[in-house]
Amino acid sequence: MSRTVYVNGAYVPEEEARVSVFDRGFLFADGVYEVTSVLDGKLLDFHGHAARLERSLRELDMASPVTMDELLAIHRELVERNGVTEGMVYLQITRGAAADRDFVFPDPDKTPSTLVLFTQSKGLIDSAAARTGIRVISIDDIRWGRRDIKTVQLLYPSMGKMMAKKAGADDAWMVEDGVVTEGTSNNAYIVKGNKIITRHLGTEILHGITRAAVLKFARESQMEIEERPFTIEEAKAADEAFVTSASTFVTPVVAIDGVSLGDGTPGAVARRLREIYIDESRKAAI
C-alpha cells in the first residue's frame, strides 16, 4: 500500500504528490523543515518543534500557510492514515513557487508558501547505533552562519556523512575556530568526570529540541552541565560522548577520529540519559 503524503491542503498517494519546478525550495533551498518523532503512534515534543518552526519562519520572513494547531492535526492525520506506530513525520515549508526563477523574494500575497509533510516508519528505540555506539570523524564546519534556522540547505551535512562513510565511520562532528559546533544532523556532547559538556546556544548551531529536553532531564537527575565549546582533543580525552536528535534520541559516541573513548563501548551517562529521555518523552507524547 502506498504512503499518503500531504501537499498544500491535500492528502494524496505519494506517487501523485506534485510540487512545481519553480518552487523556491527546489531552486534556492529557500525552505525550512522539522522532523518530529513518533512513538506508540504519538508525537514527541510537538510543541517544541512547532515553536522552533515558527522561529525559523520568522527569521526568514516566510509565511506559514497554516496555524500550529492545524499543523498538529495534519501530523496526527498522516500518522493515523499511514498506521505509523514508530518513526518520524517530516515537514517542509518553502517560500512557494513564483512565476519564474528570481532571486528576489516573491510577494507572499501572490505566491503562497508550499507545505509538504510525509511520514517515515522506522524502529527508533531498538537501534544498532544505540546498542554499540557510533564512530565519528571531525571535519571543518563550512556551513553558512545561521545554523540556528532549520533550513533545508543540507548539502554539506550530506557531504559530511559521506566523508564519514568513506573513512569507515558513522557520522561527523564539525569544527570551527578550533572547537566543535555540532554533528551533521545532531547536537554533540562529551562527559568528563560527572560533567556533561555541550556547546552553548547561538547562531553557530541548531537549537535542538532533543537537546533542550535531555539537558532538562539531566538537571532534574542532579547531573552537572557545562554549556561551552570544547575541542576535538578534549573530546578524545573525555570519558564518554554522545549525540542527540529527534530521530536518534540519545546515541552514544564510542570513537572520535579513530580514538576510542573509555573502553570503546557506550558510556553509562549516555545510556541512562537515553532511557530517561525515552521514558519521559513517551509519557508526554501527544
Residue (25 or 106) nearer to ligand PDD, CB: 25
Check: CB of residue 253 under 8 Å from CB of residue 241: yes
Distances (CA, A) of 270 to 31, 57, 132, 139, 261: 33, 33, 12, 23, 13
**278 makes contact with ligand PDD (CB under 6 A):** no
Residue (133 or 160) nearer to ligand PDD, CB: 160
Q: Is 223 exposed, middle or buried (0-12, 13-18, 19+ CB in 10 A)?
A: middle
As given in the structure block, the three cell numbers for residue 113 are 508558501
Catalytic residue among 42, 122, 150, 195: 150
For the chain, helix (H) and strand (E) counts, in that order, are 8, 15
Q: Is 261 helix (H, G, I), strand (E, B) or coil?
A: coil
Instruction: Count the Cβ atoms, other than its own, within 10 Å of residue 179.
Output: 16
Map the footprint of ligand PDD across residues 64-83, applying CB under 6 A: none
State the DSSP string of 94-135: ES-B-SS--SSPPPTTTSPPEEEEEEEE---SS-HHHHH-EE
Of the residues 25, 31, 208, 267, which one makes contact with ligand PDD according to CB under 6 A: 208
Distances (CA, A) of 120 to 15, 75, 114, 198: 15, 12, 20, 29
End-to-end CA distance of the chain: 26
Of the residues 246, 250, 256, 276, which one makes contact with ligand PDD according to CB under 6 A: 246
**149 makes contact with ligand PDD (CB under 6 A):** no
Of the residues 111, 119, 151, 187, which one makes contact with ligand PDD according to CB under 6 A: 187
As given in the structure block, the three cell numbers for residue 173 are 562532528
Smallest distance, ligand PDD to C-beta of residue 252, A: 16
150 a catalytic residue: yes
The site map against ligand PDD for 24-53 (x = CB under 6 A) is: -----------x------------------
**182 makes contact with ligand PDD (CB under 6 A):** yes
Residue (38 or 209) nearer to ligand PDD, CB: 209
Of the residues 4, 82, 94, 185, which one makes contact with ligand PDD according to CB under 6 A: 185
Residues 6+ apart with CB under 8 A from 70: none
Of the residues 172, 190, 206, 269, which one makes contact with ligand PDD according to CB under 6 A: 206
Count of residues engaged in binding ligand PDD, rule: CB under 6 A = 14
Tell me the window of 117-125, 201-209, 233-241, 262-270 that interacts with ligand PDD (CB under 6 A): 201-209
Smallest distance, ligand PDD to C-beta of residue 17, A: 20
As given in the structure block, the three cell numbers for residue 233 are 582533543
Residue (106 or 211) nearer to ligand PDD, CB: 211
Residue (97 or 149) nearer to ligand PDD, CB: 149
Interface contacts to ligand PDD, rule CB under 6 A: 35, 182, 185-187, 206, 208-211, 244-247
Which residues are identified as catalytic?
150
